Amino acid sequence: MVHLLITQKVWPVAGTFRIARSALTEIHTVWVTLTDGHYQGRGECRPYARYGDNVESVTAEIEALRPRIEGGMRLRELQFALPPGPARNALDCAMWDLEAKRQGTSVTALLPAPPPQSRQTAFTLSLDTPEGMADAAIAAKQYPLLKIKIGHEHGLECVRAVYAARPDADLIVDANEAIAPDELHNFYDQVAHLRIALIEQPITAGTERVGQLPQGPIPFCADESLHTVDDLAALSSFGYRAVNVKLDKCGGLSAAHALMQRAKADGFSVMAGCMVASSLAMAPMMILESYADYIDLDGPLLLAKDCEDGLVYDKGIIRPPSAALWG
């Protein structure tokens, strides 16, 4: 018999986290805890308004499955019981964690996947004025890979300001759908000579056309446009050459494992990404780091506080999670 506990958490942000569509001072997440009397498994999800989710809707989705979960639902059944999204993510990760502890092994061994290694993670600079972002880039001098959040206004100026402030850093430019399609080619031409690794989700998901994205030295990365394996073929036809895989979009570790392998096989570069949340939400994706070309798991670094037994970060290097945290 398994007992299900659903807990809503509030995490204060370190300052304000701004992107093109929102500005947040706190983050709301949902924790799932599964216990069998001897062992405990946990998972965290971050419901995201962009996809029509909130903590109440996600809690209700999970609660509706309580009889089946407490009756012994297995991981495979879960994949068909809920659609891709945060509710399935939290449950999926909690089930993996519980099973690993029951068997006295690791999630890595159960998947199976290569043992995770310490990796360089991107560090995110919130949307601000060009001057503000330049100052933030200088303050983040210990991070050699910076993700820049830009909006419709002054986006190009922000990129140039950060590049001038930190010419030593590799940059990921994340527009969060804020660039107008008729401005995209000019934007690309203006930044193509800079030290940019990726341009992430420049235009609104679902509005892309075949061959619409410019092709050149900087690949475009799909974020809001990517949820499951079924999206990959269309993304390739639009011109995306990289994808940002997030547990809360695809629906958990099980789906992310399959999605990352398929994306690599299809020729995409892969980013292991996250919503802003605690270390418990990052840990399962860190287990899959071997499938990722880029790691963007800085969520806890953007919070004023983290959960207990949180991930260890050292000058942008993120270490694999401890067994006390997850997995």
Angle ∠(168,127,259) on CA atoms, nearest 5: 80
Distances in Å between the alpha carbon of 184 and those of 180, 188, 308, 319?
A: 6, 6, 43, 37
Cβ–Cβ < 8 Å for 14, 72: no
CA-based radius of gyration for the chain: 19
Instruction: Count other C-beta atoms under 10 Å from residue 26's C-beta.
Output: 12
SS3 at position 202: coil
Q: Which two tokens stand for residue 151?
A: 């909006």
Catalytic residue among 246, 264, 305, 315: 246
The label of the residue with tokens 């670094």 reads 301
Beta-strand (E) ranges in 160-238? 170-174, 196-200, 220-222
At residue 284, what is the residue type? P
For residue 147, indicate whether it is catalytic: no
For residue 246, indicate whether it is catalytic: yes
Catalytic residue among 101, 147, 149, 249: 149
**How long, in residues, is the chain?**
327
Q: How far is CA 321 from the centre of its chain?
A: 16
Between CA 286 and CA 289 the distance in angstroms is 5
Catalytic residues: 149, 246
